[in-house]
Structure 1
């Protein structure tokens, strides 16, 4: 997509490039899923500028010939030296095949994410001798959803609307939910012959009722965890590991945290 044609403040068409050259597609409603830092949002007047504190920058290796403890075990690594403001991951895709990556908060990174990833792999004996077959990189908004995701006859979904879990950076589930709601609302609006912003705000209401509250809770959790030192993160991980997850309760978790470090409980008060 190269640009959106606006007529009387409304999206009238999308212009792109195809095999035969310029392609123009007319529309009654535009559902924009053009990713982080959405250009469509800017073009229609929705403020979508990101600061380094709003963005996780990520790099990932797809690797083969790696030694995995289990092909069913997901591994996460935290620490200011490993991935400042984020985490490193090892996601098995088979017996000796895995996605290994890092996501770092742009405002805390001292080097590009690819460098943090290289350092991580080099320090892991079970990964260092593996072979890289593909490299991926990108950015993820981790600052919570946009305040406005509908403008005129334009609906924003997924990363374009910042509908991402701020704690993990995951956004596939929420993007699919938002896309479904957007499609339903747009289809009904077109059928009714009313594609006004007021009509399309049903989308805004429905997605916020569906999963918007969870995203705000995850944002709060992220901010709390960012305030912890590496030592405090280690204590928290050690504490959680002592709780039996088949019968875990908030009371059990709080008791273990108090035993480990009462000061840590004070820092974590925003999570409960």
Structure 2
């Protein structure tokens, strides 16, 4: 499976076409190599699954957590959330909606937006 049917959609923007294209190619390359080698076993095809899960599954899981929190927000909390999001630069916003939460990007975000970082830390501790 590839794309939305494989769970490769970003729930924050309801989009998965980039993942479908990129990992569709990985699936095709993996299948082609398996056929050429004469080994189409599950093990031979495992590279595809391992690749996409390593590269994007953490982002998708993070995005699901953000979505779950957003779904529970009151109107006042939404106003606060939008206020914080509106202070992000275009690049920070794109990283956010792509759920690109690498350590270096999170540190940079915390440095530029300390109140957002404190709130996120509080939400992590509260959710634990």
Q: TM-score, normalised by structure 1?
A: 0.36
The answer to whether residue 84 in structure 2 is matched with residue 224 in structure 1 is no
Query: Hey, what's the Cα distance between the residues in 2 that align with 1:239 and 1:268?
Result: 17
Pairwise CA distance, 1:244: 5.7
- Whether 2:38 is the aligned partner of 1:213: answer no
Q: SS state of the match for residue 39, structure 2?
A: coil
- Structure with the bigger percentage of strand: 1
**Equivalent residues in 2 for 1:70-85, closer than 5 Å:** none
CA distance, structure 2, for counterparts of residue 244 and residue 214 of structure 1? 19
- CA, structure 1 residues 244+184, in 2 after alignment: closer, same or farther (shift >3 Å)? closer
The higher relative CO (CA closer than 8 Å, separation ≥ 6) is in: 2
Query: Which TM-score applies when normalising by structure 2?
Result: 0.71
Larger Rg: 1
1:54-104 Cα offsets, whole Å, 9 max, x none, are: xxxxxxxxxxxxxxxxxxxxxxxxxxxxxxxxxxxxxxxxxxxxxxxxxxx
SS of match in other structure, 2:61: helix
**Alignment partner of 1:252 is 2:112:** yes
Cα distance in 2 between the residues matched to 1:157 and 1:244: 32
Aligned partner of residue 228 in structure 1, secondary structure: coil
Q: Which has the higher helix share?
A: 2
Moved over 2 A (4+): 246-249, 251-258, 264-270
The unaligned stretches of length 5 or more in structure 1 are 1-155
Change (3 A) 1:267 1:229: farther
From 39, 42, 62, the equivalent of 1:194 is: 39
Is the CA contact (8 Å cut-off) linking 1:167 and 1:219 kept in structure 2? yes
